[in-house]
C-alpha cells in the first residue's frame, strides 16, 4: 500500500469512535461507548439502521463511496466495524485516513474460509479436515480426500448457515457447487461433535489479552439459539480454548474483540470452526455476567484504553429472540432476566430481533 496507515493513539472521553455497520452489534457497541463517555458515529448503507437510534452521529453511505468514507474518517478518532463482511477495500481505504482496528488483514483472512483455515492450520491448531473446491474436478477430488458426510461451504459471505450444504457423495458435492453458482468453496469434514462452544476474547493495543469464560452454544436451523456459561468444558479444555484464541490473536497482532467457534468432539478435542473478527452473539451474556462486557472491551481496545476485567461474577444463559418471536414482547418482558430488543421493525424469519439473558449466582 502506498499510503501510510494511521497509527493508533488513545481516544479521550468526548472523542468519537466510528463504527462500520448499524445492526444490533453496532448498537450494543454504541451503548458501551456511551457508558465510557465516548461518542460514536455509525456508518451504514441502511438508512434505517437500528444503531442510528443510539448514536451521537450517523452517516448513510455505500461501502465503496470513497468521498463519503473519507468524510466519515475525518469525523472519527478511531474506526472499527461490527460485521466481518466489510469490503476489504473499504477497510484498507479507511486505514489510510484514521486508525482502523481490528486490522484490515485480520478482516481479510476471516472473510475467506480457505484463507482462515490455512491460517489456523499453519499455527498448528486443529480444524476439521478441509479441501479446496474451485471446479467439478476439485469437488470430486475433495470428496475423495475428506469422505462423507461433509459440508460444502462457499469461501466468502456465509453466515447463519447460508452458503452451506451437507453432502454424502462426490455427485452431491458437484451439485452443491453448482447450486452456489460455482463460487469458490471449501469442503469440510462433517464433525459429529459432542457440543459446540466458543471463546470471546480481547487483545489490547499493548498486546494484553483477556478471554471470557467459554460458553456452550446450541444452534437451531444454523442460527444460535442459546449460550450457557459455565459450559460442559473441563477446566483444562477451557484453558486450552483460551490459549487457542490467544495464539490466533497474537498471530494477527489483533486489536479488539474476536470470537472463535469450536466443535468439541466426543473424544474431547477442540476443532476450530470459524473465526469472527468482531463481537459475537455468543458473548452477549457478558453484558450481565461480567463487570466489563465484550462490547465495552472492544471499545476499550480500539480506543487504545486498558482492557477491563473479563471475569465472570455470575452464571448465565442467553437466548436469542428470532423473527416473529419478537411480536410477543409483552410476554417476553414478563419472562424475567434482562431483555434486549434491537429496535428492528421487520421480524422476518431467522432475523435476530433481540435476546434475553438470565443470570444467577455462580455454582
Asked if 143 contacts 187 with a C-beta cutoff of 8 angstroms, the reply is yes
Distance, CA of 20 to CA of 93 (rounded, Å):
13
Q: Answer whether the bond into residue 149 is a cis peptide, omega within 30°.
A: yes
Cβ–Cβ < 8 Å for 15, 36: no
326 counts as binding a copy of itself under rule CB under 8 A? yes
> Contact between 120 and a copy of itself (CB under 8 A)?
no
Q: Binding to a copy of itself by residue 226, rule CB under 8 A?
A: no
Which residue's CB is nearer to a copy of itself, number 121 or number 333? 333
C-alpha distances in Å from residue 73, one per residue of 24, 63, 101, 170, 317: 22, 13, 13, 48, 38
Please identify which residue in the block is written with the cell numbers 451521537. Answer: 56
3-class DSSP state for residue 356?
strand
Toward a copy of itself, which CB reaches closer, 115 or 206?
A: 206
207 binds a copy of itself (CB under 8 A): no
| Interface with a copy of itself, residue 333, by CB under 8 A | yes
Using CB under 8 A as the binding rule, the residues of this chain from 10 to 29 that contact a copy of itself are 10, 12-14, 27
Q: Which of 147, 161, 268, 306 binds a copy of itself (CB under 8 A)?
A: 306
The answer to whether residues 269 and 199 touch, using CB atoms and an 8 Å cutoff, is no
For residues 33 and 244, which CB has a smaller minimum distance to a copy of itself in the complex? 33
Q: Judged by CB under 8 A, which of 122, 181, 345, 348 binds a copy of itself?
A: 345
Contacts with a copy of itself by CB under 8 A: the residue count is 50
- Least separation, in Å, of the C-beta of 59 and a copy of itself? 16
Helix (H, G, I), strand (E, B) or coil at 15: coil
Concatenating the DSSP letter of every residue in 231-242 gives: -S--HHHHHHHH
- The span from the CA of 268 to the CA of 214, in Å, is 15
**Using CB under 8 A, which of 153, 282, 305, 317 touches a copy of itself?**
305
Contact residue for a copy of itself among 145, 314, 325, 351 (CB under 8 A): 314
The cell for 70 is 473519507
By CB under 8 A, residue 48 contacts a copy of itself: no
With beta carbons less than 8 A apart as the criterion, state whether 167 and 152 touch.
yes
Binding site for a copy of itself (CB under 8 A): 10, 12-14, 27, 30-31, 34-37, 39, 52-56, 288, 291-292, 296, 300, 305-306, 308-309, 313-314, 326, 329-330, 333-334, 336-345, 354, 357-362
Amino acid at each position: 500500500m502506498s499510503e501510510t496507515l494511521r497509527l493508533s493513539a488513545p481516544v479521550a472521553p468526548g472523542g468519537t469512535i466510528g463504527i462500520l455497520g448499524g445492526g444490533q452489534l453496532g448498537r450494543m457497541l454504541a451503548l458501551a461507548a456511551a457508558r465510557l463517555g465516548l461518542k460514536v458515529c455509525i456508518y451504514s448503507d441502511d438508512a434505517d439502521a437500528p444503531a442510528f437510534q443510539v448514536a451521537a452521529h450517523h452517516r448513510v453511505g455505500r461501502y465503496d463511496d470513497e468521498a463519503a468514507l473519507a468524510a466519515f474518517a475525518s469525523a472519527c478518532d478511531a474506526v472499527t466495524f461490527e460485521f466481518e463482511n466489510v469490503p476489504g477495500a473499504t477497510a484498507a481505504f479507511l486505514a489510510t485516513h484514521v486508525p482502523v482496528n481490528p486490522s484490515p488483514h485480520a478482516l481479510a483472512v476471516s472473510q475467506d474460509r480457505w484463507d482462515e483455515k490455512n491460517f489456523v492450520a499453519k499455527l498448528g491448531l486443529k480444524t476439521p479436515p478441509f479441501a479446496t473446491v474451485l471446479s467439478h474436478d476439485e469437488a470430486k477430488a475433495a470428496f475423495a480426500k475428506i469422505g462423507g458426510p461433509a459440508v460444502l461451504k462457499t469461501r466468502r459471505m456465509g453466515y447463519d448457515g447460508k452458503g452451506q450444504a451437507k453432502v454424502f457423495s462426490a455427485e452431491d458435492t458437484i451439485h452443491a457447487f453448482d447450486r452456489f453458482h460455482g463460487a469458490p468453496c471449501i469442503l469440510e469434514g462433517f464433525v459429529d461433535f459432542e457440543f459446540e462452544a466458543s471463546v470471546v476474547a480481547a487483545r489490547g493495543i499493548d498486546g494484553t489479552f483477556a478471554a471470557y469464560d467459554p460458553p456452550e452454544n446450541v444452534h437451531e436451523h444454523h442460527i444460535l439459539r442459546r449460550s450457557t456459561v459455565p459450559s460442559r468444558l473441563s477446566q483444562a479444555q477451557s484453558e486450552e480454548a483460551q490459549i487457542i484464541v490467544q495464539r490466533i490473536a497474537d498471530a494477527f497482532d489483533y486489536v479488539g474483540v474476536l470470537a472463535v467457534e469450536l466443535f468439541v468432539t466426543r473424544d474431547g478435542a477442540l476443532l476450530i470452526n470459524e473465526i469472527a473478527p468482531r463481537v459475537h452473539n455468543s458473548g452477549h451474556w457478558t453484558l450481565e455476567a461480567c463487570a466489563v462486557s465484550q462490547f465495552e472491551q472492544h471499545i476499550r481496545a480500539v480506543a487504545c484504553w486498558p482492557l477491563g476485567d473479563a471475569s465472570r461474577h455470575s452464571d448465565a444463559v442467553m437466548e436469542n429472540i428470532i423473527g416473529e418471536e419478537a411480536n410477543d414482547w409483552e410476554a417476553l418482558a414478563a419472562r424475567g432476566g434482562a431483555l434486549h430488543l434491537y429496535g428492528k421493525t421487520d421480524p422476518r424469519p431467522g432475523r435476530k430481533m433481540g435476546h434475553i439473558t438470565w443470570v444467577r449466582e455462580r455454582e
